[in-house]
A and B are shown apart, each in its own frame.
Chain A
Amino acid sequence: QKEVEQDPGPLSVPEGAIVSLNCTYSNSAFQYFMWYRQYSRKGPELLMYTYSSGNKEDGRFTAQVDKSSKYISLFIRDSQPSDSATYLCAMLGGGNKLTFGTGTQLKVEL
């Protein structure tokens, strides 16, 4: 079993929809949770991070962590075509070594 599971998609939604992206994990040592966005032919870029259970909001993006269920989510409100990318969750326990999910490919259509 992988430490981090993420549905690869692809996920296709109409412009303006609310998008929900999810990851589950098995390692209780994970304390920090991040979401990266990767556009085609580019490296991943950090989108949001959190280290506690609950919600964290940044503009149209909300990161949610439920440590008791070992489940994290990223919500995108009012999705735009420019949000079309692959979204990777990442987690950190001790040290500086991140463990990534496989990524979910999202396409927002006009």
Chain B
Amino acid sequence: DVKVTQSSRYLVKRTGEKVFLECVQDMDHENMFWYRQDPGLGLRLIYFSYDVKMKEKGDIPEGYSVSREKKERFSLILESASTNQTSMYLCASSGTDRGPLGGYTFGSGTRLTVV
């Protein structure tokens, strides 16, 4: 089974801190995604990547950046954390071998609280 691992389940950070959320997948997937999930708003795409060192903005990229130096790892960076970035962050990956019907595999999420 494809496994997507997010480094932390729960994080508490202070306003203004630089925050790194790490995601690693073990199935050689080309595509990786970062979402945030908030009640009533569903999953919103922050950034995605189709290849190493490649990144594309999603629907809500403001206040975030990403890094993909290796195929298996996709990092989300909060440059200066703010309270409105308190959320559940979900990483996902997908491969191109099965096309879009392969779906995404999600990690278990990181619940970030900014105080």
Q: Which residues of A contact B (CB under 8 A)?
A: 6, 8, 32, 34, 36, 41-46, 49, 51, 88, 92, 96-98, 100-103
Contact = CB atoms under 8 A, between A and B. Distances in A.
B90 A49 contact: no
Contacts, number: 49
Contact of A97 (B41, B45, B90): B45
B108 interface: yes
Which 4 A-B residue pairs are closest in the complex by CB-CB distance? A43-B106, A102-B42, A46-B103, A100-B43
A30 to B, nearest CB: 11
Contact of A42 (B58, B96, B103, B109): B109
A41 B101 CA distance: 25
Contacts of A100: 42-43
Nearest to B103: A46
B25 interface: no
A8 B38 CA distance: 12
A43 B4 contact: yes
Contacts of A6: 42
A92 B100 CA distance: 7
A43 B105 CA distance: 9
A96 B94 CA distance: 8
Contacts of A101: 42
Interface centre among B41, B104, B107 (most CB of A within 10 A): B104
B109 A43 contact: yes
B60 to A, nearest CB: 13
28 contacts: A6-B42, A32-B100, A34-B103, A41-B108, A42-B108, A43-B4, A43-B106, A43-B107, A43-B108, A44-B104, A44-B106, A45-B105, A45-B106, A46-B103, A46-B105, A49-B101, A88-B42, A96-B50, A96-B96, A96-B100, A97-B45, A97-B48, A97-B58, A98-B104, A100-B43, A101-B42, A102-B40, A102-B41
